[in-house]
Structure 1
């Protein structure tokens, strides 16, 4: 049996006909880190709040560690669900020391037990020497670790984190992805994280749940989701991609598109006729003897790679340029003609 079960959960807000969350079902194993990923308004934060008990679902079932916390309008209050919450702004008490912030939720513990547990979790997050300091004396990354320590202190069944990296600058953000994941793994804690950033989701998650307009689009590991997106929305939301329409060939292994024939990673079992193909930019490899040829329309330098927009020859003048990721050391000029091949492993059929 799954550690957390969410079955057919929906949420309607007053005077709004469309549900914020529509028939969401999800099973989470103990110790698993799950990320709810999607644009603003997709229902991910509402889902997190329903799990926490801050919002009551309109219908459905939620159970945590074998205990039903919502069913048929009957809801267990948040404080009895065994939930640890890390808010987007950390919500630390500025007038309390770090130690007292961590001890705040340990209401039924003795003073000796509180101090011992605070010391334990501060050691876990690498801040054992900061107990006597105040939140304003810590950096953003340190404050985040304090918030995580406070959430872990009561030994909750699950940790919920709402946009935990959004207030951090780029360099610190990358470090904190690693630190938070390491802390959760070491504590063997089940966690559900909400973010709109694909890099955050892929860096910390065992599985990612992509949502759009309250509906789950795909649940998969980061690698599976990136390489095999289920539909156009997922393909575009979890990274840049080239989307082409085409017709499946009789060999069930190739697709004829407006830019030519493209090889699929695997042979299909049946002919499905017209299809849509997703091709990741890094799957387009520049080569002097490449099968596909086009003129460079634009080059954008990103630091790690060059984003090259190539207009291929086609009878259809409305075809969008193909995006290629090229090595930064390659000298590519706008207006030049280049050739490239497409790696089948980074090609996927999408709905």
Structure 2
């Protein structure tokens, strides 16, 4: 049996037209780092709160380890579930030292054991010697580490983190993704993180769970999620993409679209004639005599690449232009004609 198991978990709030979380099933193995990813209102935070015990499900069951913490006959309160929680705003007590913030949840421990454990987790998060300081004396990244240290102090079964990187600037955010992952691996903890940011999810996760309107859309590794999105929602939410409709050819390996014939990475297993495909912008490689060509309508500089919007010859004026990523050093002007090839490995058949 999986370490954490959610079965048919549902939460319907009073007066809401649809459930916030709708009969989701999720299995998490011990030591995994999982991210719940999706837009605001998709049900990811409600799922986290039900797992923590802060929100009572309408129906379904929750197992942690070999113990049921919620079903139609059982409700284990939050403090008895063996869960460490890191809140979005860190929720540190400003009037307490860092050491006392970490010791706060160790109610049944002796004073000596509390101090020893606080020292241990501060060393784990790279803040050895910071115990006598106060939260306002620390940077945002250091405060986040303290919040994580406090969550780890009682030796929980699982750590839950709600939007842990949202309050950090871009440079610190990238650093903290690495630090948080490293700390969780060292502590050998199972973790579930909630975020709406694809880069956060991909950087820290073993697997990503994409949610929308209370329903799980796809569960996959970051690589698989990006290269093989299951449906149009996932393809568009997880990075940029070009969505095209077309007809699957008889060889089951090519799709005829308005931009021409596009190769799939492998033969389709589903003999459906009318299909939809996702083509990632970086899968469109500029080539002097490429198979596809069109006129440049817009160029946006993204620092690491140029985002080029291209209107192909027979493309309907009302439809979205193709988005192609071009090397930053290449001179591309609006109005010019460019050619490109499409890498099959970044093409995927998707559901509507």
Q: Which TM-score band (shorter chain)? A: over 0.9
Alpha-carbon separation, structure 2, partners of 1:133 and 1:16: 45
CA-CA distance at 1:125 after TM superposition: 0.1
1:261-292 per-residue CA deviation (whole Å, 9 max, x = no partner) reads: 00000012342100000000000000001000
Contact 1:58 1:73 in 2 (8 A): no
2:231 corresponds to 1:231: yes
* Structure 2 partner of 1:216: 216
Structure 1 pair 270/25, CA: closer, same or farther in 2 (3 Å)? closer
Alpha-carbon separation, structure 2, partners of 1:48 and 1:104: 22
Contact 1:59 1:73 in 2 (8 A): no
Contact 2:68 2:74 in 1 (8 A): no
Contact 1:283 1:347 in 2 (8 A): yes
* Structure 2 partner of 1:44: 44
* Structure 2 partner of 1:8: 8
* Structure 2 partner of 1:82: 82
* Structure 2 partner of 1:293: 293
Structure 1 pair 329/162, CA: closer, same or farther in 2 (3 Å)? same
Q: How does 1:10-159 map to 2 (within 5 A)?
A: 10-72=10-72, 74-159=74-159
1:73-110 per-residue CA deviation (whole Å, 9 max, x = no partner) reads: 53100000000000000000001100010111111111
Alpha-carbon separation, structure 2, partners of 1:315 and 1:57: 49
* Structure 1 partner of 2:330: 330
- Comparing 287-296 and 66-75, the one that deviates more: 66-75
Contact 2:299 2:332 in 1 (8 A): yes
- C-alpha RMSD of matched pairs (Å): 0.8
Give unpaired runs (5+ residues) of structure 1. Answer: none
* Structure 1 partner of 2:257: 257
Contact 1:295 1:310 in 2 (8 A): yes
Alpha-carbon separation, structure 2, partners of 1:341 and 1:185: 41
2:284 corresponds to 1:303: no
Instruction: For residue 230 of structure 2, give the secondary structure of its aligned residue in structure 1.
Output: coil
Instruction: For residue 245 of structure 2, give the secondary structure of its aligned residue in structure 1.
Output: strand
1:92-150 per-residue CA deviation (whole Å, 9 max, x = no partner) reads: 00011000101111111111100110000000000011000000000000000000000
TM-score (norm 1): 0.99
Alpha-carbon separation, structure 2, partners of 1:270 and 1:312: 29
Contact 2:36 2:211 in 1 (8 A): yes
Alpha-carbon separation, structure 1, partners of 2:315 and 2:63: 56
Instruction: For residue 63 of structure 2, give the secondary structure of its aligned residue in structure 1.
Output: strand
Give unpaired runs (5+ residues) of structure 2. Answer: none
1:168-226 per-residue CA deviation (whole Å, 9 max, x = no partner) reads: 00000000000000000000000000000000000000000000000000000000000
CA-CA distance at 1:315 after TM superposition: 6.0
Alpha-carbon separation, structure 1, partners of 2:285 and 2:66: 50
Alpha-carbon separation, structure 2, partners of 1:17 and 1:265: 41
Instruction: For residue 130 of structure 1, give the secondary structure of its aligned residue in structure 2.
Output: coil
Q: Which stretches of structure 1, 4 residues or more, deviate above 6 A after TM superposition? A: none
Instruction: For residue 216 of structure 2, give the secondary structure of its aligned residue in structure 1.
Output: strand
Alpha-carbon separation, structure 2, partners of 1:302 and 1:173: 18
